[in-house]
Amino acid sequence: MAHPASHAHTDAPTHAEPHSHRHDHEQDHSHGHRHGSDGVAEGAMARVLDLDAELFGGYLTAVTGRLAGLAGGGVTHIVDLGAGTGTGTFALLERFPGARVTAVDSSPAMLAGLERTAQAKGLGSRVSTLEADAGSGLPGITGADLVWASASLHHLDDPAAALDGIRAALRPGGLLAVAEMDGMPRFLPDAVVPDRPGLEERCRHALSALHADQVPHLGADWGALLTAAGLTVEAEHTEDLELRAPLPPAAGEYAHLVLGRVRDALDGRLDPADRSALDAVLNGGALDVRHRDDLTVRSTRWTWTARRPTDRP
Ligand SMILES: C[S@@+](CC[C@H](N)C(=O)[O-])C[C@H]1O[C@@H](n2cnc3c(N)ncnc32)[C@H](O)[C@@H]1O
C-alpha cells in the first residue's frame, strides 16, 4: 500500500468514514428510498458525514483552497462523486462562487437529503443531483472542470473502470481530486475501560481484516491508479488531523455513532471482553463517550489531485 509522501500536520481533523460499509446491491430502489435497518444505518451514516464536516471544516477549507490553486480560474462545473450528504458539494460551492455542482450518488436517500440542504442554504439553483452507479461512468456529464471523490472511490467494484469514466467526464486540463482516509478515526484514551488497554487498536485491526474482505479497494494506491488511467498526478498530501479537549458536544455524538457502527460491523468478531468494553463506552453509563472529557479525535486523510492531459485524447 503506497501513500503520498508529502506530510502535513494541521489542527483540523478530517472527514470520517463510517465503517460498516454497504454495497450498491444492498440498496432498495423499489420506491426510490431505503427502509428497515438499512435505512436506519444510512441515516446514521448521513449524520456521521454531517458531524464530520461540522467538526473538521478546517480540513475541507484547506483542501478546497489547494484545489483552487491548481485549478486556476474558470471553474464552472464541478462533479461531487459519491456526494453523500454534500459535505464536499457545499465546501466547493463556497470555494468556487462561479461554479455549479452535479452531485452524483447511487443512494436516492442521500441525494434527497442533499437537495433539501441545498434548498435550505439557498443554493438550489447551483446544485443538481444525478442518481447513478459511478462505477459505470458518469452518464451525460462531459467537460467537467473538477471532479471531487471523497471516501467514495473505494466503494466501487472496479475503480480502474470508474476512473476511465471520470477521465471521459473531465475536460482536457480538468482535475480529479481523490480523498481517502486511513480507517476509523481514533477517539479513546488507551485505558478507557479498566483492564482493557488497547481496545480501540484491536477494533481497528479487526475492521481492517473485515474490510480486506468486504471493501478491498480501501487503502488502494490511488496515485498509481490515477496514473494508469491516463491522468497526471500533480499533488499528493497526507494529513494527520487531531482535535483535542475541550471538544464541542458534536465530538461525543460523532464518537458514539462511529463506535456504534464499529460495534455493529464487528458483531461476533470481537473478544467478548472487548465487546463488553465497547458496550461500556456506548451504553449511556459513566464511561460513555458522550460524557467524557478525555477524548481526542484523530484521523489521517490522503488526497491525490490529478489532471486530464491536454495533449492526449
Ligand atoms: C462515505 S460516503 C462519502 C460521502 C461524501 N463524499 C463525503 O465525503 O462526505 C460514500 C458515498 O458514496 C456513495 N456510493 C457508494 N457506492 C457508490 C457508487 N457505486 N456510485 C455512486 N455513489 C456511490 C454512497 O451512497 C455514499 O453516499
Atom 16, ligand 1: residue with shortest CA distance: 155
- According to DSSP H, which parts of the chain are helical? 36-55, 57-71, 87-95, 108-120, 159-169, 199-214, 222-228, 249-265, 272-280
Tell me the CB-side half-sphere exposure of residue 151, using CA atoms within 13 A.
Answer: 26
What does the pLDDT look like over 127-161, one tens digit per residue? 999 999 999 999 999 999 999 999 999 999 999 99
| Residue 206 burial class via C-beta count within 10 angstroms: exposed 0-12, middle 13-18, buried 19 and up | middle
**Does 104 lie in the same domain as 66?**
yes
Instruction: For ligand 1, say whether the CB of 84 is within 6 Å of any of its atoms.
Output: yes
Predicted confidence at residue 37, as pLDDT, reads 58
15 compared with 83, residue with greater pLDDT: 83
- Closest to 235 in 3D by CA, of 148, 173, 304: 304
**Does 206 lie in the same domain as 96?**
no
Q: How far is the CA of 276 from the centre of ligand 1 (A)?
A: 31
* Least confident span in 13-27, 42-56, 59-73: 13-27
Instruction: For ligand 1, say whether the CB of 20 is within 6 Å of any of its atoms.
Output: no
**Does 306 lie in the same domain as 201?**
no
**Does 57 lie in the same domain as 176?**
yes
Alpha-carbon span 259 to 89, nearest angstrom? 26
The set of cell numbers assigned to 74 is 474558470
**Does 229 lie in the same domain as 312?**
yes
Instruction: For ligand 1, say whether the CB of 129 is within 6 Å of any of its atoms.
Output: no
pLDDT band at 52 (very low <50, low <70, confident <90, very high): very high
Instruction: For ligand 1, say whether the CB of 149 is within 6 Å of any of its atoms.
Output: no
pLDDT band at 16 (very low <50, low <70, confident <90, very high): very low
pLDDT at 10 over 50: no
pLDDT band at 249 (very low <50, low <70, confident <90, very high): very high
Predicted confidence at residue 7, as pLDDT, reads 31
Per the DSSP assignment, residues forming a β-bridge with 304 are 178, 236
Instruction: For ligand 1, say whether the CB of 14 is within 6 Å of any of its atoms.
Output: no
**Does 82 lie in the same domain as 22?**
yes
**Does 210 lie in the same domain as 143?**
no
What does the pLDDT look like over 174-229, one tens digit per residue? 999 999 999 889 999 998 988 899 999 999 999 999 999 899 999 999 999 999 99
Phi, psi of 231 (to 5 degrees): -105, 155
The set of cell numbers assigned to 62 is 484547506
Q: How far is the CA of 197 from the centre of ligand 1 (A)?
A: 34
Predicted confidence at residue 203, as pLDDT, reads 96
**Does 171 lie in the same domain as 287?**
no
Alpha-carbon span 142 to 102, nearest angstrom? 11
Alpha-carbon span 267 to 280, nearest angstrom? 15
Predicted confidence at residue 313, as pLDDT, reads 67
pLDDT at 235 over 50: yes
pLDDT band at 103 (very low <50, low <70, confident <90, very high): very high
Amino acid identity, position 10: T
**Does 196 lie in the same domain as 125?**
no
**Does 201 lie in the same domain as 76?**
no
102 compared with 19, residue with greater pLDDT: 102
Atom 10, ligand 1: residue with shortest CA distance: 152
Tell which atom from ligand 1 comes closest to the C-alpha of 53: 9
DSSP state of 285: S
**Does 189 lie in the same domain as 120?**
no
Alpha-carbon span 255 to 277, nearest angstrom? 15
Range of the domain at 271: 184-214+245-295
- CB proximity list for 32: less than 8 A, separation 6 or greater: 108
Tell which atom from ligand 1 comes closest to the C-alpha of 135: 19
Number of domains into which the chain is organized: 2
pLDDT band at 14 (very low <50, low <70, confident <90, very high): very low
The set of cell numbers assigned to 120 is 435550505
**Does 170 lie in the same domain as 251?**
no
Atom 17, ligand 1: residue with shortest CA distance: 106
Q: Decide: helix, strand or coil at residue 91.
A: helix
Which of 152, 154, 182, 302 has most ligand 1 atoms within 8 Å of its beta carbon, as the pocket-test mutant?
A: 152
Instruction: For ligand 1, say whether the CB of 49 is within 6 Å of any of its atoms.
Output: yes
